[in-house]
Amino acid sequence: MIIPALDLINGQVVRLLQGDYGRVTTYPVDPAKQFARYHKAGAKWLHLVDLMGAKDPATRQLTIIEALLKSTPAKVQIGGGIRSEADVSGLFKAGADRVVIGSTAVKQPEQVKGWMDTYGAEKIVLALDMAINDKGQRNVAVSGWQQDSGVTIDALLDDYLAAGLIHVLCTDISCDGTLTGPNIALYKDLCRQFPAIEFQASGGVGALSDIDALKDTGVSGVIVGRALLDGRFTEQQAFECWGD
């Protein structure tokens, strides 16, 4: 499925280039109206990133998030700086259908497995951002992509599968925000290697041909953010291309 995405700073819709807060594009759209537009076009799921919460959980935009979730009948998964159970429970109380866990999934795997047990594996999405070196090693980056964890995605997924992992949002850092196309080979390989996991492809989608190419990889969903905001194609075209 196509999963339209919005990133928020101070309630405004923005996009970062490769996760860099110094390279921000702000879009003059109302997030609630944008989500309504995506749902009307056929979106069953939406993706929301709280970029303020990602930098500092104390500044999480919970009031804005709760109002936004109440405005749409679509299901919403939310990420951004989830470091404690209070962060997780707070987002579920605000109306999130799934919570997206990034760096904490790498740094505190036992804690995150506990959340999967408490809330259900269906409710948790691991967001794994990868830096692929010239030898093809796929290490997971943490702390806003600033650090190489030294942990390969293969080892991490093997560990979490034993805890019932279902959903993984996977991003090749080099592709994110570039509109130059996703890493098709990466998704094909991961879906082949881990058939029990429902992967969401994220990063690089800039044309309908990118969506079409992802259909044959085995991913269950495609996160589309900047391409829709920039008008590269319409949400209706994206859903039709995927076959939603």
Q: Which of 50, 87, 129, 210 is catalytic?
A: 129
* Beta strands per DSSP E along the chain: 2-9, 12-17, 20-27, 45-50, 75-79, 98-101, 124-132, 138-142, 147-152, 167-172, 198-202, 221-224
| Catalytic residue list contains 134 | no
* 46 φ/ψ sector (left φ>0, alpha ψ -120 to 50, else beta): beta
**Which has the closest alpha carbon to 33: 72, 81, 70?**
72
Is residue 87 flagged as an active site residue? no
Distance CA 157, CA 231 (A): 35
Residues classed as catalytic = 7, 129
